[in-house]
């Protein structure tokens, strides 16, 4: 979880591969209307995200389990909705600064629907998960291999706790 440009998709893919689990790209489940809004630089509202979160919650309940799912989960209420769908759900908070996120989003080019003008809105909406149970904070600018190893170790630790 984290703001756009933090690397959720990249880490999610390598983590799912390393763990031998299914990978679900949360962005792939946005409605065409939501994608159009974001590509035009219009921020999504809680109402816009409602159906998307329902879809992601349903994905969390689909076998085979476990899965790695990417989702911005910017607000605690969003994370709590997903937690309600999957007992024991854990989050990796990919912490990144505004400038780095902006640079990464801009680097995607026209191939991605998310407009760079929305990065500031992502930071304004973000309710950091500091202190929430079942959350690991990582430095999103660390090398991907380091992040994958860190998260894999944390998940293994959590399983034995």
Q: Which two tokens stand for residue 112?
A: 């991605």
Q: Are 69 and 59 in contact (CB under 8 A)?
A: yes
pTM: 0.90
Grouping H, G, I as helix, E, B as strand and the rest as coil, residue 42 is: coil
Q: Which domains does the chain have, with CATH numbers?
A: 8-160 (3.40.50.300)
HSE at residue 62, side-chain half, CA atoms within 13 A, is 12
pLDDT for residue 118 = 79
Is the confidence at residue 2, as pLDDT, over 80? yes
pLDDT band at residue 98 under the 50/70/90 scheme: very high
Average pLDDT, the chain: 90
Q: Are 114 and 105 in contact (CB under 8 A)?
A: yes
Average pLDDT of the segment spanning 48-57: 94
Task: Summarize pLDDT for 105-129 with one digit per residue, the tens.
Answer: 877 665 555 666 778 888 999 999 9
Strands (E), the chain: 22-25, 67-70, 91-95, 135-139
């Amino acid at each position: 979880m984290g703001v756009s440009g933090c690397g959720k998709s990249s880490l999610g893919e390598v983590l799912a591969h390393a763990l031998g689990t299914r990978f679900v790209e949360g962005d792939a489940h946005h409605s065409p209307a939501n994608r159009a809004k974001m590509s035009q630089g219009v921020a999504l509202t809680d109402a816009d995200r409602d159906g998307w979160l329902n879809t992601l919650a349903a994905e969390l309940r689909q076998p085979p389990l476990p899965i790695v799912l990417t989702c911005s989960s910017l607000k605690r209420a969003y994370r709590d909705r997903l937690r309600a769908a999957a007992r024991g759900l854990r989050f990796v908070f990919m912490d990144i600064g505004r400038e780095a996120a902006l640079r990464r989003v801009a680097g995607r080019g026209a191939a991605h629907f998310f407009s760079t003008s929305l990065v500031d809105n992502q930071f304004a909406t973000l309710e950091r998960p500091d202190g929430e149970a079942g959350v690991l904070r990582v430095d999103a600018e660390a090398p991907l291999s380091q992040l994958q190893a860190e998260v894999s170790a944390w998940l293994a630790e959590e399983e034995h706790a």
